[in-house]
Amino acid sequence: MQQYSSLPEQNSQIDTTQTLLTTIQQLRAELWLEGGLNQLQSHLNDCLLSACTTLPQPRATEAEIFQILVNEISHALNSSKVAIALLQSQETTGKIFYVPPSPARRSQLLHLEALSKKGKKLRLKLDEVIELEDLHHLENQETPSAWQLANDCGGITAWLIVATAPVRGDSELCNTAEVELRSQFIARAVKYCSVALAKLRQIQSWQQKSQYLGSSNRELERTNQLKNQFLANTSHEIRTPLSSIIGFTHLLLAQGYDPTRERHQEYLNIIQSSSKHLLALINDILDLSKIEANQLDVQWEIVNVSTLCRNVLALVKEKAANKGLKLLLDIEPEVTTIVADPLRLKQMLLNLLFNALKFTTTGTVGLQVVDKGSFLHFTVWDTGTGISPTDQAKLFQPYFQISNSTVNRNEGTGLGLAVTRKLAEVHGGCIEVESKVDCGSRFTIILPLNPVGELTGIEGNIASASASPPLDIAPSCFLEILLVENDLNNAKLMQIYLEKLGYQITVAKNAAEMWAALKDINPAVILMDINLPDDNGLNLVQQLRENTQYQMTPIIAQTAMAMKGDRDICLAAGVNDYISKPIDLPLLASLVAKYSKPQ
């Protein structure tokens, strides 16, 4: 019995030892598993950190991640052979791109233990072609030998292939627990790799956003510099003629104006010239701003080219005669009409002609129009000083003016060519320059015959772009005009001018005075300012139109509203016509004469 009674103690020791050995093996296995995965994670983290701190190289970093995965699995499993194959989306075959490095070069030639779907043994060899169906076959085995990694953004799918060498029956790998451990290691390694690839794409996205923001910031800095330069140049260009206006006005006030004194007339001519220069500068700035903001109104019409060109030359004829220059016009017989904005086309040609006259002291300035298929070429040429290649490169920059001792710098705004090029582009065309120093210049505006396709609503309406015949501005006797104007100086100017033409002017500086004046007079025309201290001029127009007594009374808006759509806003409110400030007095007289005539 004693013998038997001792047996349980011996068996208990054996059981305890066996349990302890099993526990140690489990701990060793877990240590091996976690140690290998930690090393893999550490290398992947180093790779991602490097990607964060270096210039974006998405393919290179991705390749490094794949190589790390292959190397770490190969090192951890020791006797296993590892590779990664890449396949393009929608492709059924791919190639092996990543294998462990030497010294085990023979490992690249070892066969997979599993067979392909067709029974063929597969080899893990660099650049070896592999079928997608074979990868799926290996993936779906009871013990998988292939795992699909996450797809990347470039439409490429990566497959991890892990093959065991043929084993003997007594091999440790036959141990079910070890096979399970191996599968667990590979599964977690694949997950780590997929997470690393996802983080890499996130890093690349951040880098792209950072690059975009950096590029945007640089563009904003450049825009800010251009804005500051533009404002500085604008300030200089505005102050120059303004200085003349203020200075000569001061002289006239100090001496007392005497219309019989020739010097005083000269002062007035300088003031008027400087004022016109200032207005031209403001108009050019507005045009340039509207074009840049895509807010320029273009009135497409069928334009009679010959008539428009003759009218344009008529406007520069006096300036050419004063300099002793000849003007030539050459239009091919085939040229008849073009679809364009007649006002803007005239503006482009005038800009080029005034430049040609400015830089030509002797000889000829000409305008030639040639039919080039679906395009017309408007060429302004001269026999002037010509333009150097250096200056040609800067011609279309705002405020750039060619230095020339024979030319007065104040003869122009420095914006004409910039505006002309933009207007040509708005018409679907362009402008070209040919010039040699001392050999004259040729500026060619190339415009399509029909830039707007179907001419719905404008066919048959051929705009001659000719200047409208001057209206008879002599009024009928004692016509009453109601002038509603907030600014006293502008009111005084228009009152004096119109009274000299024989009109009787009643001035109202606000809405209250307007309604009071209407109780005493029945005006033939109402001149309406828009910005009034106690109401909006457009509201007053609508109120007048709602009153049967004034529904037919002509109303002309005279306002500083000169931006895109302002004319349409005024007309929609009920005015008959529109004139923007600064007031063109002859145009004002023509409009008043037109609308004050008995219907």
DSSP 8-state class, residue 33: H
Euclidean distance between CA atoms 357 and 36, whole angstroms: 85
Is 112 in contact with 80 (CB distance < 8 Å)? no
What are 232's two structure tokens? 């500085």
Euclidean distance between CA atoms 340 and 301, whole angstroms: 6
What are 494's two structure tokens? 């228009």
The tokens 């099993």 sit on which residue?
22
Q: Give CB contacts under 8 A, 24+ apart, made by 195-201.
A: 196/44, 196/47, 196/48, 196/65, 197/62, 197/65, 197/149, 197/150, 197/152, 198/150, 199/48, 200/48, 200/51, 200/58, 200/61, 200/62, 200/65, 201/152, 201/153
What's the pLDDT at 318?
Answer: 84
Euclidean distance between CA atoms 490 and 6, whole angstroms: 128
C-alpha of 371 from chain center: 33
Predicted confidence pLDDT, tens digits, the chain (599 residues): 444 444 455 555 555 666 777 677 777 877 888 888 888 888 888 888 888 887 767 678 888 888 898 888 888 887 668 888 888 878 888 888 888 886 544 444 444 554 566 667 777 778 888 888 888 888 888 878 888 886 655 678 888 888 765 444 444 444 667 778 888 888 888 888 888 888 888 888 888 888 889 888 988 887 777 666 666 666 666 776 777 777 778 777 777 767 677 778 888 877 887 787 777 777 777 777 777 777 777 889 999 999 999 988 988 888 898 899 999 999 999 999 999 999 889 889 988 998 899 889 999 999 999 999 999 999 999 999 898 888 888 888 776 777 664 555 445 556 788 889 999 999 999 999 999 988 899 999 999 998 865 454 454 444 444 444 444 455 555 689 999 998 888 888 889 889 988 999 999 999 999 999 999 999 999 999 988 888 888 999 999 999 999 999 999 998 877 666 778 888 898 999 988 877 888 889 999 999 987 75
Instruction: Give the closest residue to 503 by CA, choosing from 521, 477, 473.
Output: 477
What's the pLDDT at 398?
Answer: 72
Instruction: Give the closest residue to 111 by CA, choosing from 125, 97, 132, 131.
Output: 125
Q: Strand pairing partners for 559?
A: 580
Instruction: Give the closest residue to 186 by CA, choosing from 40, 365, 56, 299.
Output: 40
* 143 CB-near residues (< 8 Å, 6+ apart): 179, 183
Q: Which amino acid is at 325?
A: L
**Sign of torsion, CA 545 548 552 555?**
negative
Instruction: Give the closest residue to 328 by CA, choosing from 303, 351, 357.
Output: 357
φ, ψ for residue 149, nearest 5 deg: -85, 170
Cis peptide before 398 (omega within 30 of 0): no
Percent helix, strand, coil in the chain, to 5, is: 50, 20, 30
Max CA distance (Å), the chain: 156
Angle at 283 (CA atoms; ends 280, 288), nearest 5 degrees: 125
For every residue of 527-553, DSSP letters joined together read EE-SB-SSSBHHHHHHHHHHSGGGTTS
C-alpha of 214 from chain center: 17
